Chains A and B, each alone.
Chain A
């Protein structure tokens, strides 16, 4: 009993901070989402409007368009990061000259602030001065202009995200691969299993928990991407890269539509939880059946 009390005392500061800066703002967002509040309105007061904000967003073409491009972005970016990250992790499991150097270099994007990543990619992709349009034009005769081509802008944002976050996937998968016991692989080889069979039936199932944890982290990050995209494209051209994070930013800050912005934020949170839950149920839960 005494040790229990000591535990609570030691935990209290963390719990209080978590409550004040995590739970209270979250509750505030929920409360705001049921209100209309725009300080620029004739009536700048906070007015209760029930579920109107949620009803509005179901039919809001801007929100639905943002949702669509965000889901496409998340799918392409996260899948690519997983594949490339796994291949790099496998490469780093082997010895080759300069391995330590390359491993260090390849993690550098990870430590860059998103706003810097966006700035660097903007400089690299601006027509006339950017190195990427220059070489694409010189080598392939392709004129890259992400201010004009919606497809090009979307693809560049995906590549930028892959460049930024693949090292995270690589690092977590290296940790998972290093910790694998050698016995199952040796036995499989003795039994004549091929590389593909070993990957699908031994490696993948054994690194699945680490892989899924990485997927969850990347999913959550990708769903709320803002800084890099605002810097690179501003959400354009048109609405091609107006991802949900950018949409929320525009609604809440420039448009000062605090109530509606809160409702959109909640829906994005709900969407994130649902997607992660579906992935968990489909991939991990069957491996961990409940014990009666």
Chain B
């Protein structure tokens, strides 16, 4: 009994000490101001709901306790699955129950939330209550990704907390292996290097899948986020693959009565879209067998397990793949590059008319139904303080403030990540978030069953994409967007 008691006491002491270390790691400027600002909210506990991701876990494990220690305001962050997070947040705001004081807003849902007036105008709220505005908080600090969370009036409706690009990740140990290089050059007559075109990417993928077979290795040429019953596959195609061929905004033309089909002016079933899908399906066929059950998480796991030579991977997973030996077998062997592109796509991206891939991320918003709006405004600013960003960026590869790029530990990690942060800073402008539609999940759900049938081979690419374009237009007509 005594031993058990001592052991429990030791564990408790260790936990407290660990918590103290974490808290000490975040020196907050103007601590007195935060104490005074929080004093008026004695007894208040803020409740937030977010997707369980490394950046969100940092909020619940590090930022929330630190904020609570500074201000006395309790913060209870619920981290859950992507579906559950939306389910809970939307139900709460729709039914106006006021359970949550903060909700995670993924970039692609903001337009729906704004259309439904779910969110508080944070810029206006802080202007109206200058006594709640922290000295170190400034909207000027944010990267341009924050623009995704602005309303028509230019005001901020969400505080960015994570931002990544979906990158082309490749194995440097394989790409730099002299035997592999020689074999590749002998077969294709050019040196092995990260692909810049789709044809090159296919050749590399085919080469490594064959290499794995020939050498009895669990190695394939590419990842494929090709789940046959989960929207992750839909997203991979329309947000990461189709744009590299020049099919943007899911092939729906918002400026042309939300047309999706070619006959009405859209491009969801265009020849280019069909070429893109055919290309991607071929990659799926030479990817590891688990690819047909892979969402965004599983492709990262597949890469980290050393089962593929290259792939399109969400940036939020890049850090642990490249640096966490407890989860990844390819630590130190990861390089990043821009996705392979068709002719003209880079020029379109440079001019702002197109984009080369998906810029993903999210923010924390303040529901108008919250009963603790003032206290929540404090926490939202706290999340955006420059002094908490460095530790956050190291714990999870996300950057939302421009100053974070210059932090020493971030620069060190950038080298370990093969230059991911540099790419985010320098080339982030070439990527783009989801199109500004308030009907994301509706169109996806209306068309996804057909998309899955294309993946299983029940429908051909031609027939399937034609059906999807018609289904998208029908759904948009039902919703009232398409006249």
Task: List the interface of chain A (C-beta within 8 A of B).
Answer: 38-44, 62, 122, 126-129, 143, 145-148, 150, 233-242, 250-251, 253-257
Contact = CB atoms under 8 A, between A and B. Distances in A.
5 contacts: A38-B479, A129-B290, A233-B229, A253-B83, A254-B444
Contacts of A62: 449
Nearest to A44: B116
Question: 8 closest Cβ contacts across the A-B interface?
Answer: A236-B229, A234-B229, A147-B292, A42-B480, A237-B228, A147-B293, A127-B289, A236-B228
Contact of B442 (A38, A146, A239): A38
Interface in B213-264: 218, 227-231
Contact of B218 (A43, A128, A150, A233): A128
A238 B289 contact: no
B92 to A, nearest CB: 13
Contacts of A250: 445
A236 B294 CA distance: 12
Contacts of B481: 42
Interface of B: 83, 86-87, 90, 94, 112, 115-116, 218, 227-231, 288-293, 307, 438-439, 441-442, 444-446, 449, 452-453, 455-456, 458, 478-481
A239 B228 CA distance: 9
A255 B445 contact: yes
A116 to B, nearest CB: 14
B444 A238 contact: no
A168 to B, nearest CB: 27
A169 B458 CA distance: 37
A127 B226 CA distance: 14
Contacts of A44: 116
A197 B70 CA distance: 79
B444 A147 contact: no
B228 A238 contact: yes
Contacts of B442: 38, 40, 254-257
A147 to B, nearest CB: 3
B80 to A, nearest CB: 12
A128 B227 contact: no
A211 B376 CA distance: 56
Tell me what chain A mostly uses at the interface: helix, strand, loop, or mixed. loop
A287 to B, nearest CB: 44
A241 B229 contact: yes
Nearest to A147: B292
Nearest to B481: A42
Given A238-B455, A254-B445, 5 more contacts: A38-B442, A39-B90, A147-B227, A147-B228, A150-B456
B227 A234 contact: yes
A239 B444 contact: no
B83 A237 contact: no
B266 to A, nearest CB: 19
Given A128-B218, A234-B230, A238-B458, A41 B452 contact: no
Contacts of A238: 228-229, 449, 452-453, 455-456, 458
Contacts of B230: 234, 236
A40 B445 contact: no
Q: Which of A38, A42, A127 has its CB near the most chain B CB atoms (within 10 A)?
A: A42
B90 to A, nearest CB: 8
A67 B87 CA distance: 25
Q: Which of B83, B90, B445 has its CB near the most chain A CB atoms (within 10 A)?
A: B445
Contacts of A239: 449, 452-453
Nearest to A257: B442
Contacts of B456: 148, 150, 236-238, 240
Contacts of A143: 289
Contacts of B480: 41-43
Contacts of B455: 237-238
Contacts of B86: 253-254
Nearest to B298: A126
A148 B292 contact: yes
Contacts of A256: 90, 441-442
B481 to A, nearest CB: 6
A237 B452 contact: yes
Given A147-B228, A148-B228, A236-B228, A254 B441 contact: yes
B374 to A, nearest CB: 27
A291 B154 CA distance: 78
